[in-house]
Copies of this chain bind each other. A is one copy, B any other.
Amino acid sequence: MTLGTVSTNRSHGGTQGVYTHSSAETGTEMTFSVFVPDHEPGEKLPVLWYLSGLTCTHANVTEKGEYRAACAEHRVIFVAPDTSPRGEGVPDDAEGAYDFGLGAGFYVNATEAPFARNYRMRAYLEEELPDVIARSFPADMARQGITGHSMGGHGALTIALRNPARFRSVSAFAPIVSPLSCPWGEKALTGYLGPDREAWRDYDACALIEDGAALADLLVDQGTADNFLESQLRPELLEAVCAAKGQKLTLRMQEGYDHSYYFISSFMADHVAWHAARM
């Protein structure tokens, strides 16, 4: 495993890096960013994963997420992966739409042609990248948390619900809580997994909870002025299944906030503190 360094910048009493590596899972070069607060030689710090939303790369949250001050204060490593494989030969949406294909991997292992070879973001994040992080950074992999935004909130919730022992803390910003129940999800999961909706349940936070998956607790922030609230995000579905199954959930409806990084950055320090207290 060779890690390439794209850039490192000193910031907020730590090092913000951007790195590339050759992924066996996706068959592509993958780029991700890592912030490491200053620490003692040999010391290991807990790791907070942040999964990004549609159209994003690692760069959006790295530039606009305002997580570094809080991560330095709480001494947390922050890892931001890309949202899909990219590069020559990686198939995209036939019409280049923003909500499928490049930038829209939906954190699945695709089974449909022509996506099955490269679109393996689930395996990439559940198996391959954690190993890269553990080998290359001063990361205490016994203390991991995960969060994400929109499609990345969906990714964070489903990865955590399938791997509850790996994460001590889980949160999300404006997550897609049920791809089975919204147009973004129906389009993406049809394309990546085919029409059998039973196969989708492994990639649907509400279905996973309904089927018995559970977490210690869960924090979700959702803006009330989010354009996608009613059609795509539907936090009421998560609230209902959590209530039915006794899953602890803190759902905070944030008055007037939208779907942008102006919203995410406003509550990022809260989320970092919430994870730090649990990791």
Contacts and interface: CB of A to CB of B under 8 A. Distances in A.
Interface in A176-231: 223, 225
Given A11-B265, A16-B262, A257-B10, A66 B66 contact: yes
A10 B69 contact: no
A86 to B, nearest CB: 23
Contact of A10 (B10, B12, B225): B225
Interface in A236-279: 256-258, 260-263, 265-266, 269
Contact of A262 (B11, B66, B225, B257): B11
Interface residues of A, number: 23
A9 interface: yes
B263 A11 contact: yes
A63 B66 contact: no
Contacts of A114: none
A266 B11 contact: yes
A262 B63 CA distance: 8
A68 to B, nearest CB: 7
A64 interface: yes
Nearest to A225: B10
A125 B260 CA distance: 30
Interface in A1-22: 9-13, 16
Given A63-B63, A64-B64, A265 B12 contact: yes
Contacts of A12: 265-266
Interface of A: 9-13, 16, 63-64, 66, 68-69, 223, 225, 256-258, 260-263, 265-266, 269
30 contacts: A9-B258, A9-B260, A9-B262, A9-B263, A10-B223, A10-B225, A10-B257, A10-B258, A10-B262, A10-B263, A10-B266, A11-B257, A11-B262, A11-B263, A11-B266, A12-B265, A12-B266, A13-B266, A16-B262, A63-B63, A63-B64, A63-B261, A64-B64, A66-B66, A66-B69, A66-B265, A68-B265, A68-B266, A69-B266, A69-B269
